[in-house]
Amino acid sequence: MMPSLPELGIYFSLLLFIVGIFGVMFRKNIIFMMLSVEIMLNAANLAFISASTLTNTIDGQVVMFFVMAVAACEAGIGLALIISLYRAKSSIEIDDLRMLRG
Amino acid sequence: MHDQTLLALIVLFPLIGALLNAFVFRHMSVVVSCLTATLAVAIPFILSLILFFGPIAKGTPVIAELFDWISVPLINGKEFNISFALTADRLSGLFLLVITGVGTLIHLYSGEYMHHENRPYRFFVYLNLFIVSMLLLVLGSNMLVTFLGWEGVGVCSYLLIGYWYEDTANSMAAIKAFIANRVGDAGFLIAMFLCYMLFKTINYSEIATIIAATPQNFYTEHSLEITLIGLCLLLGVAGKSAQIPLYTWLPDAMAGPTPVSALIHAATMVTSGIYLMNRVSFVLVLSPTVMTTIAIVGAATAILSATIGFAQTDIKKVLAYSTCSQLGYMVLACGVGAFQYGVSHVITHAFFKACLFLGAGSVIHAMHHEQDIRKMGGLFKRMPITSITFIIATLAIIGFPGFSGFFSKDAILAAAWSGPFGNPILWFVGWITAGFTAFYMLRLTWLVFFGESRAEHPEKIHETNYVITLPLIILAIFSALGGLIAIPEVFTGKEDFITRFLSPVLMQSEEILKASGIHGNPLSHSMEFGLMGASIIIVFIGALFAITVYKNGPQGGERFANAFGGFYRLIRDKWRVDELYNLVIYQPLAHFGSFLYRIIDRKVIDGVVNGIPETLYTGTSVASDAQSGMARNYLKFIYIGVFVFGLILFL
């Protein structure tokens, strides 16, 4: 028998999250890495909503709004950081930015 | 002044002398150093005379409790208390006189002998410290104070034997003396511990009181402990008084300056074993096993070292082996139960051996540091005072009738026959040794003083000055007359002086022997004269044989050597005892040591010590490599960590 829609949402969120992880791990461009982080956040949101539907509670949906707010802030600050990094190093390749090593 | 103050001053003066020379008179001339050091011993000699002829001769021991040395509360509520106390009774009184008296002469002599040294003050500091240690040794009221002096003479002998430490051979001799002494010291220490276990005190007079209360208790129940104590003490005595098996250090100790040899051999260190055996005689006589062992060790040492004396060519080595041999006599005397004759031989030996050594020093001085008797000869005409004093001392050591050694040695031989633990075999060994002594001493005297001169420049040899000859003359007089303390009963009709004088000290051991039914066989007068005649005969045989063989110089000895061949080579090589020790003790220890070094030290200990930082270093370098600065790597670690953590939570 087919799983119900919220269950499918959970599975889909897992898939999305893994896609996001791989994006962060294997992309070298910081902008793409940020996009991947957004994907992961959206995967988390989807998981919250699905779980809240499954358990008939509203908490998950509330948390989703907070996450969207945080993600918006993160995108703004992150882009600002990327611009100033580009000014300093003329590059947004993540592997060129390795000044903090042991 | 109180007698106690006098006693404390006797020890204090040499100490002050040493400190003055060490810190104040460092850059003064040898005259200042020598006078300070000599006075620091001469004043105690006068004080000792006052004490000796005052309270000690009257029979009241002088006891000075200086301070509480060690005071430890024990768990059973009692207290372990050792006070730094000095006791001068008749036994230590005699030793006091010998140490300070002969010591003064040797100090005086050293002033001339060492005057060409760079920093003679160092020598005099050591000499004075030697006297301090020896005084503590004989004056200590308990075993611990004695042990302090016991160790002190060990250290000072090490410093003095190695005085010319730039020379490796001298340093090695010093180390050998020190190690042989340490072996003996271990024996003394163990004996001290056992005494404390058994008697709960290490104070001599308290031990004596405890034994006197229940002597039979110690034969039966505690005989094992008593035997152990006695054997451990014997080991200590063997170390200090150069007995088998620890005698090998004494001949090597000749590496030090000659006055040192005189001091070590005559007045101080080597006599401490005899002193100790007298001091604890009441413990030793409780065990016949111990007494017999002591007697056998003494007799064996006497004859073994006398044979080695036959073939030595170094003037000081011959004298060194004669010291070993004479010490064997003294130990034999103690072993057969005639402790007082051990002391009388110590005293006469102190005079004639000091005279012999200082005489040898005078010869060496005049011969410009030539010590080989084959290159001497004919010195009698050129050094009359040295020669006459040396010959008097020789006559004394071989026991020529009328000289001091005759009476003290004869008393020992008579006791070896008739004493409580005596036995004709012991007498026979001592008797043969007397002949051997006569042989090698006459060989020495003849080769050095008579015949043709074999020196390169005989005309340059002349008598040394009065600083050297004065001590020689004084010592020669005492060598001739010192035997008066042991003139036997057969001549005077009353008991000899030394037996009467030491009877308060040795009374207890005699009573113990009497109570246990062990007694000597009193000699009839004819028998005593017979024994005396026998020893006179063998002394004359030995002496005449030596003169016959060596009358034309050392060639006679070579014919003698060829006749005996292998046996001669064996005794020339000192029975190869050093080689035996080398093979049996030194080599295995050296191999074990190198095993420890190669395997345990280098591999195990270094491995652990270096391994820990190496592991840490490798570990940290891996950890620091992980901090690559690459954000994607960090992320990987974070994800892996989260994954693993999640897995753990999930499972």
**pLDDT tens, B59-77?**
888 898 888 888 888 888 7
Q: Which residue of B has its CA nearest to A17?
A: B639
Q: Where are the domains of chain B?
A: 1-141, 188-574, 579-650
Q: What is the dihedral angle through the alpha carbons of A77, A81, A83, A84, rounded to the nearest 10 degrees? A: 140
Q: Which chain A positions have a beta carbon within 8 Å of B623's beta carbon?
A: 102
State whether residue A24 sits within 8 Å of chain B by CB: yes
Cβ–Cβ contact B637 with A under 8 A = no
Whether B632 sits inside 8 A of A95 (CB atoms) is yes
> Is B566 near chain A, with CB under 8 Å?
no
pLDDT band at B9 (very low <50, low <70, confident <90, very high): very high
pLDDT, tens digit, 9 for 90 and up, residues B16-54: 999 999 898 888 888 888 899 999 999 999 999 999 998
Whether the CB of B58 is below 8 Å from some CB of chain A: the reply is no
pTM as predicted: 0.79
| Main-chain phi, psi angles of B541, to 5 degrees | -60, -50
Q: Which residues of B touch A99 (CB under 8 A)?
A: 629
Q: Is-cis flag, bond preceding B55, omega within 30? A: no
- What mean pLDDT comes out for the span B119-131? 89
By C-alpha distance, the chain A residue nearest B630 is A98
Give the torsion through C-alpha atoms of B280, B285, B289, B294, to 10 deg.
Answer: 50
Nearest CA to B170 out of B273, B266, B261 is that of B261
Angle between helices B90-113 and B339-366 (to 10 degrees): 0
CA distances from B165 to B113, B173, B174, B252, B394 (A): 18, 10, 9, 14, 32
Among B498, B481, B161, residue whose Cα is nearest residue B351: B481
pLDDT in tens, B566-576: 777 777 777 78
B82, pLDDT greater than 70: yes
Q: Does A84 touch chain B (CB under 8 A)?
A: no
Cβ within 8 Å, pair A24-B635:
yes
- pLDDT of B230 higher than 90: yes
Tens-place pLDDT, residues B542-568: 999 888 888 887 777 777 777 777 777
Over 80: is that where the pLDDT of B337 sits?
yes
Find the closest chain A residue to B637 by CA distance.
Answer: A25
The answer on pLDDT for A53 being more than 70 is: yes
pLDDT of residue B235: 93
* B648 part of contact set with chain A, CB < 8 Å: no
The answer to whether residue B370 scores a pLDDT higher than 90 is no
Least confident range of A41-45, B373-377, B499-503, B506-510: B373-377
Q: How far does the CA of residue A36 sit from the closest CA of chain B (Å)?
A: 13
Instruction: Give pLDDT, residue A16.
Output: 94
Q: What is the pLDDT of residue B1?
A: 66
Give me the DSSP letters along B471-521. HHHHHHHHHHHGGGGG--HHHHSS--HHHHHHHHHHHHHHHHHHHTT----
Interface touch B628/A98, C-beta < 8 Å: yes
Long-range contacts of B66-70 (CB under 8 A, 24+ apart): B66/B8, B69/B144, B69/B145, B70/B144
Indicate the average pLDDT of chain B.
87
Answer yes or no: is pLDDT of B420 > 80: yes
Indicate if the pLDDT at residue B317 is higher than 60. Answer: yes
Of B623, B629, B636, the CB nearest to A101: B629
More confident residue, A1 or B105: B105
pLDDT at res. B260:
86
Distance from the Cα of A64 to chain B's closest Cα (Å) equals: 22
CA quadruple B607, B608, B610, B613: dihedral sign: positive
**B contact residues 121-140, partner A, Cβ 8 Å cutoff:** none
- Tell me the pLDDT of chain A averaged across its residues: 89
Residue of chain B minimizing CA distance to A25? B632
| pLDDT level of residue A1 (50, 70, 90 thresholds) | low
pLDDT band at B221 (very low <50, low <70, confident <90, very high): confident
pLDDT score at B390: 92
Task: Give the chain A residue nearest B633 (alpha carbons).
Answer: A25
**Quick one: average pLDDT of B620-634?**
81
Q: Inter-chain contact B630–A95, Cβ cutoff 8 Å?
A: yes
Question: Does B308 have pLDDT greater than 60?
Answer: yes
Q: Does B636 touch chain A (CB under 8 A)?
A: yes
Chain B from 574 to 633: CB within 8 A of any A CB: 623-632
Amino acid symbol at B115: H
**Two structure tokens written together for A22:** 């791989």
Reported as a pLDDT band with limits 50, 70 and 90, residue B15 is very high
What is d(CA B567, CA B95) in angstroms, rounded to the nearest whole number? 40
CB pair distance less than 8 Å for A98 and B635: no
What's the CATH class of domain A5-91? Answer: mainly alpha
All residues of chain B having their beta carbon less than 8 Å from the beta carbon of residue A101 are 627-630
Q: Which residue of A has its CA nearest to B625?
A: A102
* pLDDT digits 0-9 by tens, B140-187: 999 999 999 999 999 999 998 888 888 888 888 899 889 888 989 999
Tell whether B639 lies on the interface with A, counting CB pairs under 8 A: yes
Summarised one tens digit per residue, pLDDT across range B456-494 is: 777 777 887 888 888 899 999 998 888 888 777 777 777
Q: Is the pLDDT of residue A102 over 70?
A: no
* Domain extents in chain A: 5-91
Which among B623, B629, B632 has CB closest to A25? B632
Query: Given this model, what pLDDT does residue B632 score?
Result: 76
At residue A10, the pLDDT reads 92
